[in-house]
Copies of this chain bind each other. A is one copy, B any other.
Amino acid sequence: MDLLKEKILAEGHVRDGNILKVDRFLNHQLDITLLNEIGKEFHRRFSHLPVDKILTAEVSGIAIAAIAAQYFNVPVVFAKKLESKNLDPDTFEGEIYSYTKEKTYKIRVSKQYLSQGENILILDDFLANGEAMKGLMEIIDGAKANLVGAGVVIEKGFQKGGDQLRAKGIFVESLVIVDSLANNQITFR
């Protein structure tokens, strides 16, 4: 997706530890025009599949999923990270190790919002080691729902998550794949 590559080159920043900061347009400030193009592109890539609901994880997947869902005409459910008095006690759970936050935490979806047999599309901002995806897939498994595919805005192709998911037969679509962030240079596949 050329528009996205141009945006990443113009406004992304590489930080130590293979971190690609896209705060300026994707996960702190949100470029809504770009998010709309991202949503259209996800729809183009997944429109041949049955999608009943889009699942994402808070925080940075929410805006992406919400804007994209307009093109699929389906609801979004986002898995919650934070303990909340307001969350139903009866939840499907997944576990995520965050390399940036250096800790393991649980994500949860109320059992009311995922049903057996529902066709679920996962959308998220990044795919690196696949930890968030693993947690979301545990939730889908818990609900006996059906994972139809996973769309990510930016895949770090030099980390193992994307290849592992594809090896399991999961249909993964990344709008851009970054093959290297070495020497603070962004190299796309």
Contact = CB atoms under 8 A, between A and B. Distances in A.
Main secondary structure of the interface of A (DSSP, over half): mixed
Interface string A71-88: 001111110101111111
A66 B66 CA distance: 8
A66 B28 contact: no
Contacts of A70: 32, 36, 67
A23 B83 CA distance: 15
A69 interface: yes
A179 interface: no
Query: How many of these chains are in the complex?
Result: 2
A137 to B, nearest CB: 19
B84 A101 contact: yes
Nearest to A68: B32
Contacts of A66: 30, 32, 35, 62-63, 66-67
Contact of A28 (B21, B65, B78): B78
A21 to B, nearest CB: 6
Nearest to A114: B29
A170 interface: no
Interface string A106-149: 00011011000000000000000000000000000000000000
Contact of A100 (B29, B85, B88): B85
Nearest to A63: B66
B80 A28 contact: yes
A84 B21 CA distance: 12
Contacts of A87: 23, 28
B63 A82 contact: no
A49 interface: no
Contact of A32 (B15, B59, B74, B80): B74
